[in-house]
């Protein structure tokens, strides 16, 4: 119980340190000082067996380039943004803060150990001009785990100049520890609208009602249904890779369940949206959780502001005003399914 640290390698001439936070119940989280990357989140199943419920590379070296952003904090801007001067790192798009985004940066750390709660804060200064962004941004990302199976992420930031800021975490969840793909997982999202995407997965500025479509997750559906959907917005992307606009300011925003192991994940957030990404772009050739990586090995629930909000005046602004404090919190609570659970929000 408590927090341990271990130097596990070197990237870019700096030591990569893994921090493991453990609660009395055995619920634990391991994260790196590089990209705040979560490499392990151990939660019990209905038999009491602990499994890593997030995808993690078997080879440390794969985290240096981290082509799928496994487990990483994303910043300064999550999602796709029309570049217009920001560096291009996905065709004509600026994706996930750019090639030198927060996922590939080192952070300073500070820890607080408790009886039933452990906390680590990652902090760095993103200098003015980093990846084309204005202003010097002082950013802190705090992971807190609580014995009852809660992992909370709190983002705080301040800038000396007006600047865009829209962080998220890019962990891929697989509630049965990648014994199977996530296609059998059932997802419920409290959302009435999704953002319409163009052929490059860039938001068009329009929204689509979920009613009557395979985007309607208000009563839950398996992720396989989205993969098999004939809806052009889904068939192009091989399932969800879409921003869902959250319809409630508090309470549970999303529920992910796996009947095989009985684990349930509930997400709460004060973010305005959640990008659900089913891992259709995950490529073979990497080893994760002791197995060959395949598409649909994990699903991301990236709570964030609207992608492309920096360029789209119809979206809620993501500009952090000079001298103001940004604060956003997302929590993932792990529990075991109750027999009557229908996962309806
Ligand atoms: C793909 O479109 C998806 C993104 O949403 C995801 O974040 C990335 O892979 C890792 O580009």
Query: 300: CA distance to ligand 1 center in Å?
Result: 10
Cα gap 335→329, rounded to integer Å: 20
Asked whether residue 250 carries a pLDDT value surpassing 90, the answer given is: no
Query: Backbone phi, then psi, for 218, in 5-degree steps?
Result: -65, -25
For 40-56, write each residue's pLDDT tens digit.
Answer: 999 999 899 999 999 99
Among 74, 281, 283, 288, residue to substitute to test ligand 1 (most atoms within 8 Å of Cβ): 281
Domains and CATH numbers, the chain: 2-336 (2.70.98.10)
For the segment 96-117, the average pLDDT, to the nearest whole number, is 98
Ligand 1: centre distance to CA 242 (Å): 10
For the chain, the distance separating the N- and C-terminal CA atoms, rounded to the nearest angstrom, is 34
DSSP letter, residue 279: -
CB 265 within 8 Å of CB 240:
no
Question: Catalytic residue at 170?
Answer: yes
Distance from the alpha carbon of residue 322 to the mean position of ligand 1, in angstroms: 30
> Over the stretch 318-341, which tens digit does the pLDDT of each residue have?
999 999 999 999 999 999 987 544
Whole-number pLDDT of residue 248: 86
Average pLDDT over residues 169-177: 98
pLDDT confidence tier of residue 145, bands split at 50, 70 and 90: very high
What is the chain's percent helix, strand, coil content, to nearest 5? 5, 45, 50
Residue 90 alpha carbon, nearest atom of ligand 1:
11
Of residues 96, 100, 36, 95, the one with CA closest to residue 71: 36
Evaluate if pTM is beyond 0.85: yes
Closest C-alpha residue for ligand 1 atom 1: 281
Measured by CA distance, the residue closest to atom 11 of ligand 1 is: 281
């Amino acid at each position: 119980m408590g927090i341990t640290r271990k130097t596990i390698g070197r990237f870019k001439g700096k030591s990569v340190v893994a921090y493991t936070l453990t609660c009395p119940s055995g619920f634990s989280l391991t994260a790196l000082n590089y990209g705040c990357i979560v490499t392990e989140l151990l939660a019990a199943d209905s038999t009491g067996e602990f499994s890593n419920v997030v995808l993690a590379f078997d080879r440390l070296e794969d985290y240096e380039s981290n082509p799928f952003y496994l487990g990483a904090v994303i910043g300064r801007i999550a999602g796709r943004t029309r570049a217009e001067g920001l560096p291009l790192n996905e065709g004509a798009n600026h994706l996930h803060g750019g090639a030198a985004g927060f996922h590939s940066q080192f952070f300073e750390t500070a820890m607080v150990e408790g009886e039933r709660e452990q906390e680590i804060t990652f902090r760095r200064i993103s200098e003015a001009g980093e990846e084309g962004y204005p202003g010097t941004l002082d950013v802190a990302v705090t992971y807190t785990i609580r014995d009852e199976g809660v992992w909370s992420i709190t983002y705080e930031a301040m800038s000396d100049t007006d600047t865009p800021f829209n962080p998220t975490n890019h962990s891929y969840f697989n509630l049965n520890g990648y014994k199977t793909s996530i296609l059998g997982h059932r997802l419920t999202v409290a959302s009435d609208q999704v953002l319409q995407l163009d052929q490059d997965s860039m938001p068009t500025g329009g929204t689509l009602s979920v009613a009557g479509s395979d985007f309607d997750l208000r009563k839950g559906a398996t992720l396989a249904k989205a993969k098999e959907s004939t809806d052009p917005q889904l068939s192009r992307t091989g399932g969800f890779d879409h921003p869902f606009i959250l319809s409630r300011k508090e309470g549970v925003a999303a529920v992910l369940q796996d009947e095989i192991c009985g684990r349930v994940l509930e997400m709460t957030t004060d973010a305005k949206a959640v990008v659900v990404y089913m891992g259709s772009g995950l490529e073979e050739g990497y080893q994760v959780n002791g197995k060959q990586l395949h598409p649909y090995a994990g699903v991301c629930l990236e709570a964030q502001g609207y992608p492309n909000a920096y360029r789209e005046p119809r979206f809620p602004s993501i500009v952090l005003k000079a001298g103001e404090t940004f604060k956003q919190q997302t929590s993932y609570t792990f529990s075991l399914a109750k027999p009557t659970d229908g996962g309806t929000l």
